[in-house]
Structure 1
Amino acid sequence: MTSVLEFVGEPFDAAAWTAAPPPEVAAPPAAPPAASPLPAPQRDGPGPTALTTLWESVAQAHRSALRAQEALQRRMVTARPGVGAAEPPAPPAVRTAPEGAFKPLARTTVTALDTAALARLAAGDVAGVFGSAYDQDGANPALRFAGGDRPVLNAVGRIELRGGAAGAGRVLAAAEGDAVAAAVQATQVFALFTGLHLCLADAEFVVTAPPSDGARIAGTVDLEVTAVDLVPRPGLTARATVDGVGAFEVSVEVRERPGTPAGPGAGGRGPWLGRLSAAGERTLLSELHMAHLARGDQGLAMGPEFATNTGRKATRLPTGGLLLVDRVVHVDGERGRLDSARYETEYDSPADSWYYADTANASMPHCVYMETSLQAALLIGYYLGPTLAAPDATVSLRNLGGTATVLREVDLRDATIRQSSELLSTTPLPGSMLQEFRYSLAVDGEPFYRGETMFGYFGDAALANQTGLDSGRTLPTWLDAQEVRPRTRRLDLTARRADPAASRCSRGKLALLDEIEVVDGGGRHGAGYLHAVRAIDPADWFFARHFHLDPVIPGSLGVESVIQAMQEWLLDSGHADHLRDPQFVVPVGEPFAWKYRGQFLPVDATSTLEVHLRDVVATPGRVRVSADASMWKPGLRIYELTGVAVELREAGAP
């Protein structure tokens, strides 16, 4: 993992903030109306008339487009083994996005484009083609699909978000004209489809492609995207195959035009940067800035005061599939004033997100509830500048604890979560600084999650001197403290996951436990006791995500591992055997508290958890179990959870 941010192409223009903001622009021109078939003109005499020439040109263009579209359809059909030529191509199945896959800035159901749609893209009417999620309130007046009046592409038969060998995207298109130009236009179509332009206010396409050799085609372009990212700039690379032969590389970058700012100025303010919220408001910061705060140029992300944190250990958001905040809508506060502030952020939760596929829950796992709310809080606490008084100091941000309650059940697939947060206080301490927050999450204006939390900023010395929850004492687990070790039984989670038919089972990136020891009737409350040990591998996926240059296991995944132990016990206990096709849900109205006084690092050998079951409550169609829990790193208890709960309910239960 490199500690230096490498820029391809031009660096961001710091002087852009001294320039005037981009002028207000008119809305892009409306798309031309679809042409009606022209009757064959009558000749007045020998030789072609102007109308004859026009008619013949239109007819020739129409025939060419039909030939190209036919070639595309044949290619799409024959590419599917076992399909006869008469069978139309079926749309690809929806694919779950792997953890870390690029998340588009906007989504659309439009995955094919005819000639008229391509003309509208060439005119800059992106929202008119792909939908209102692509609207920019008049921004990007010069950003155009490079077709002009005579695009090389005649039609796009299919755009696949997760298609291609790399799973990064694919475009199948019909074209007539220059082969390189056709590939470039297909790449630009995919860039617009994924909304790469939406985080800039006045941008242009910068293309890298081989020089044209003059070869012309009347056939197909098969473009497979190999990489797409927002850092250092929004862009993608792809491999184009034209007419089944002659593959070559092409890339496109969405770059701010000279003199146009791409990030906030001093104080974190400045002209609007081009992004709208899900509700259509002009936002303060976009997905571009979140990506740079996580792993890129912090000066671009937050303002020039933070530029010294680029490329070194500093406060950051998580990366990849653990980056769970997309936009800062507004901040009611001022940089340098740390006593209070109010702000709203947004997170889009697509149905194809990795955590929906990997969780045992019916909807979002509890760890994502926690992460998205806590990230929204830490983001603005950091934005206000608590570390700017000592810009050369190495400081890490850690969550210290909080409380939260789920207010109502809600399926969050394809929802935009609105995060409303408030900074309550900032307290300087020797070697550290504490910030307290209050927050709530809502969908469609209705809150569903509410809580409070505390974060601390710590130097390396303070982090190295943490004493855990027991003032440095080594406190054994309940199981190890028994004079006579009680009889245990073992739940084999690895075997459960190995069975494809096993339901309500956490898998993939959320497979956090391998086995659980159970003491029936054990624990502090006499209702049952769970114990599990997990080996820590420095190559575990979450270290690369949380955080860049400062790897530590997310506390939310520790909570998730406790929840998984409880879920497996509830399935095994027989308490839910009377439920028909039950599903796990995050329990409503169950206050939950956590306290962290340490961190799990890549060098730690193991993490150990214990769960003291408190009670099991059955209501019509539901069974809920609650518990208290702790977690240890070698020799030190560092996590304490109170009131953690899991619930199984029948589908449709009241």
Structure 2
Amino acid sequence: MTAGTRNGAPMTAHLDVLAFDGEPFDALLGSADPGEEKQAAASPRAQQQPTEPRPDSDRPEPTASPAPRNEAAADQVADLIRDVRAELVATHLSAMAVQSALQRRALAALGRTRPGGSTTHPVTVAYTPETGLTVEPAQPGRALELPSPATTMSAFKALARTQVTSLDQAALAELAGGDIAAVFGAAYDQHGDNPDLRLASGAHANLTRVTELTRHGGPWHRGRLRAEYLAHTGDILGAIELAWQAAQVFALQTGLHLCLAGVRFHAGNTRSEVDIDAPLDGTGELILDVVSIDLIPRPWLRVRAELRKAGAVVARVRDLVLEIREAPGTPVAPEIGGVISTSFGRYNADGERALLNEFHMTHSARGDLGIALGPEFSAYAGRRATRMPNHGLQLCDRVMAVEGRRGDLTSATARTEYDSPADSWYYAETANASMPNVVYMETSLQSALLLGYFLGATLTAPEEDYSLRNLDGTATVLREVELRGKTIRQKTQLLSTTVLVGAVLQSFSYELSVDGEPFYRGESLFGFFNETALANQNGLDNGAFVPTWFDAQQTPPAFRTIDVAARRAEPGEVRAAQGHLALLDTVDVVDGGGKHGRGYLRAVRPVADGDWFFAYHFHLDPVMPGSLGVEAVLQALQEWALDAGLADGLTAPEFVVPAGLPLSWRYRGQILADDREMTLEVHIEDVQRRPGRVRVIAEASVWKPGLRIYELTGVAVELRGAGAEPW
């Protein structure tokens, strides 16, 4: 019997190997030649026959000498088996045909005519590997709302990187067999944690080749897949099967399954729509666009697809939702005390099992903290609690190891990893040749705060809603390094914890490395504050108002203005910061001014509710990252360096983060949306030159209205010419 196709090849159902035993077959099998007796005795089934009759059986115990057999009886058995098999196959095929016809009829009855003559069929799609796809009529209603297109900050970050963006029929067959790593590479190897995950085959239609797979393509910038198909029927079921297979291929290539163990594909219980304009049977092209994709509450994506023949659209599938879910009872979160006794399915490039992964980091940012860290944190649901930054500002992917025990806040160490894709938003938007300083800071600080949080810093007073704030630190870039497409590994050590009324203070040291070599090192102090403690911040000057240097002058000094926005619109030889990193539009300059008489810079940046960083840092506790305040200071310095002609004489100059120069910061306040503006000032200390390089060193402060809240020393920028030796 044939039950559809798998990658173009017919699939054989189990009816082809049916066997029959018991009454009346045992009686009919009373004769056979001696060879058949020996074969039967050697078969596994014969070996499993009980030597004693079951207590509930009326059958007599088999005798040692079976009754004589004859060829006529054997022929009777063969004829009977053949007849029964034929009847069963015919019945099964008839039932399948009736079921498909009933589905088509029910779906057609619910169809509604759209402009242009096509018919829309609202459906609900279900899927399990055992039953395959089933399609039921859905009551007409409003379709799902379309989200806004993804921005560079909200773009989904794939869990694995691969160069494979097209698949032939052999590769599709490997996916159908569950060998995902063989197709996409070693980064997809889950070491047997997901044995049941595989590409489905359709009874009505199948993909034959994937010609294009882009992760940020399509109108929503969340992904596009193009494929060729072969359809055996030209109806709704075939269209759904093709869209479903394409969604599975995209999910696998994106690595949605890599963050969980024991998973299978499921269809989201949502209302989808199918338009049929013309029969889609035969060969054609499918174009699938990803509308939404996320890891919360479990990995899922929502897609739309068009099916074309000879360039004309013959069918559309809208709002098909694919989910990846673990089997019931499979652990997905740490146990009480942060114990992790099982694999969650995630491995790094070296094949080392991760303790926590991107799924847990995403939940720690905007999902269920109980899933992220363990059941002790479930009580924070819906409360303003400590969270990791989210989306494009989430800069820790995996916790590989923790040496420490929850509740022991004296000392501990952790190893974490962050993958820095070459197409990350900050590489596209920075004025630097590589990673901007804000990402150096955020990557290192997020892994540090995660260690303290995991160990239970806020569990010292679980009834409190704690906000996390960085207080001070010092960090040094050890060497210039290209970080595009690299995995950053960090080792963090908890140095101390101080528990106060309404606050918990923790200090950490950390070292970041890539390709086995350190490139960044620092120490930092964090505070967990309840609402009362957070409201009592009094800035760097014990609550006193300290004006900027410019405002403190008895006679307002003469100044000129650098038009940063104009240079951004028409970049010169050295580009200006763009997009989300475009933090300043103007910088006022007092030549020869400031504390050191080398030059003084001042800039005012408006702050509004809609500023992008409030949505990303933090969920339910929006605050401007202190590292962005530091980044704004660095951009003012960069603009001054170019305006002062420091790039003149350098070949193909570009900005780099200075190596070997410690940057220190102190934060004693925060920028909130209702502050409405941030003011910064920079005092130039020194301009240093070496062959092919120029470095500017300064000190700086940042104000919110009425209060000085940030202080920076050793803040610096550097211009590097092509081929220049390290500083």
TM-score, L = length of structure 2:
0.76
Match of 2:266 among 192, 195, 206: 206
SS at match of 2:458: coil
Partner of 1:65: none
* Alignment partner of 1:242 is 2:242: no
Between the aligned partners of 2:479 and 2:573, the Cα distance in structure 1 is 28
Please say which of residues 492-501 and 427-436 is displaced more in the overlay.
492-501
**1:242, distance to aligned residue in structure 2 (A):** 1.4
Match of 1:189 among 221, 246, 249: 249
Partner of 2:62: none
Answer yes or no: is the 8 Å Cα contact 2:592–2:598 preserved in 1: yes
Partner of 2:677: 606
SS at match of 1:387: helix
Partner of 1:264: 334
* Alignment partner of 1:536 is 2:607: yes
Between the aligned partners of 2:571 and 2:515, the Cα distance in structure 1 is 36
Match of 1:99 among 123, 141, 153: 153
Partner of 1:283: 354
Equivalent residue runs for 1:630-641 within 5 Å: 630-641=701-712
SS at match of 1:231: coil
Answer yes or no: is the 8 Å Cα contact 1:322–1:546 preserved in 2: yes
Match of 1:393 among 464, 475, 483: 464
Partner of 2:104: none
Partner of 1:572: 643
Between the aligned partners of 1:245 and 1:492, the Cα distance in structure 2 is 54
Partner of 1:380: 451
Equivalent residue runs for 1:63-74 within 5 Å: none
Between the aligned partners of 2:342 and 2:382, the Cα distance in structure 1 is 26
**1:143, distance to aligned residue in structure 2 (A):** 0.8
Partner of 1:508: 579
Equivalent residue runs for 1:431-580 within 5 Å: 431-501=502-572, 503-580=574-651
Between the aligned partners of 1:613 and 1:450, the Cα distance in structure 2 is 25
Q: 1:544 to 1:483 in 2, by over 3 A?
A: same
SS at match of 1:179: helix
When Rg is computed on C-alpha atoms for both structures, the one with the higher figure is 2
Please say which of residues 266-275 and 531-540 is displaced more in the overlay.
266-275
* Alignment partner of 1:134 is 2:199: no
**1:99, distance to aligned residue in structure 2 (A):** 1.4
**1:431, distance to aligned residue in structure 2 (A):** 1.8
Partner of 2:218: 164
**1:380, distance to aligned residue in structure 2 (A):** 1.1
Between the aligned partners of 1:601 and 1:210, the Cα distance in structure 2 is 41
Between the aligned partners of 1:652 and 1:628, the Cα distance in structure 2 is 29
Q: 1:407 to 1:151 in 2, by over 3 A?
A: farther
**1:149, distance to aligned residue in structure 2 (A):** 10
Q: Which amino acid aligns with 1:252?
A: L
RMSD, aligned CA: 1.9
Between the aligned partners of 2:205 and 2:303, the Cα distance in structure 1 is 20
Q: Which amino acid aligns with 1:574?
A: G
Q: Which amino acid aligns with 2:527?
A: G
Answer yes or no: is the 8 Å Cα contact 2:227–2:285 preserved in 1: yes
Answer yes or no: is the 8 Å Cα contact 2:225–2:250 preserved in 1: yes
Q: 1:328 to 1:150 in 2, by over 3 A?
A: farther
**1:246, distance to aligned residue in structure 2 (A):** 2.2
Please say which of residues 597-606 and 97-106 is displaced more in the overlay.
97-106
Between the aligned partners of 1:253 and 1:536, the Cα distance in structure 2 is 39
**1:210, distance to aligned residue in structure 2 (A):** 5.0
Match of 1:118 among 131, 153, 172: 172
**1:148, distance to aligned residue in structure 2 (A):** 7.7
Please say which of residues 359-368 and 305-314 is displaced more in the overlay.
305-314
Answer yes or no: is the 8 Å Cα contact 2:150–2:220 preserved in 1: no
Between the aligned partners of 1:500 and 1:388, the Cα distance in structure 2 is 50
Match of 2:291 among 226, 234, 245: 226
Answer yes or no: is the 8 Å Cα contact 2:494–2:506 preserved in 1: yes
Q: Which amino acid aligns with 1:341?
A: A
**1:320, distance to aligned residue in structure 2 (A):** 1.3
Partner of 1:76: none
Q: Describe the superposition over 1:265-321 as per-residue Cα deviations: whole angstroms up to 9, x where unpaired.
A: 112223111100232210100000000000000001111110011222100000111
Answer yes or no: is the 8 Å Cα contact 2:256–2:299 preserved in 1: yes
Please say which of residues 266-275 and 341-350 is displaced more in the overlay.
266-275
Q: 1:217 to 1:317 in 2, by over 3 A?
A: farther
Q: 1:633 to 1:211 in 2, by over 3 A?
A: closer
SS at match of 2:288: strand
Between the aligned partners of 1:643 and 1:134, the Cα distance in structure 2 is 43
Match of 2:402 among 309, 312, 331: 331
Between the aligned partners of 1:245 and 1:453, the Cα distance in structure 2 is 60
Between the aligned partners of 1:311 and 1:502, the Cα distance in structure 2 is 49
Between the aligned partners of 1:256 and 1:151, the Cα distance in structure 2 is 27
Answer yes or no: is the 8 Å Cα contact 1:346–1:419 preserved in 2: yes
Please say which of residues 304-313 and 323-332 is displaced more in the overlay.
304-313
Q: Where do 5+ consecutive residues of structure 2 fail to align? A: 1-5, 10-148, 232-237
Partner of 2:323: 253
**1:327, distance to aligned residue in structure 2 (A):** 0.5
Q: Which amino acid aligns with 1:363?
A: S
* Alignment partner of 1:592 is 2:646: no
Q: Which amino acid aligns with 2:584?
A: L
Partner of 1:422: 493
Between the aligned partners of 1:197 and 1:363, the Cα distance in structure 2 is 31
* Alignment partner of 1:300 is 2:360: no
Between the aligned partners of 1:589 and 1:215, the Cα distance in structure 2 is 64
Answer yes or no: is the 8 Å Cα contact 1:122–1:148 preserved in 2: no
**1:215, distance to aligned residue in structure 2 (A):** 6.5
Between the aligned partners of 1:494 and 1:97, the Cα distance in structure 2 is 21
**1:584, distance to aligned residue in structure 2 (A):** 0.3
* Alignment partner of 1:109 is 2:163: yes
Q: Describe the superposition over 1:411-467 as per-residue Cα deviations: whole angstroms up to 9, x where unpaired.
A: 100000001100011001222110000001100110000000000010111111110
Q: Which amino acid aligns with 1:184?
A: W
Between the aligned partners of 1:603 and 1:245, the Cα distance in structure 2 is 53
**1:217, distance to aligned residue in structure 2 (A):** 4.7
Greater relative CO (CA pairs within 8 A, separation 6+) = 1
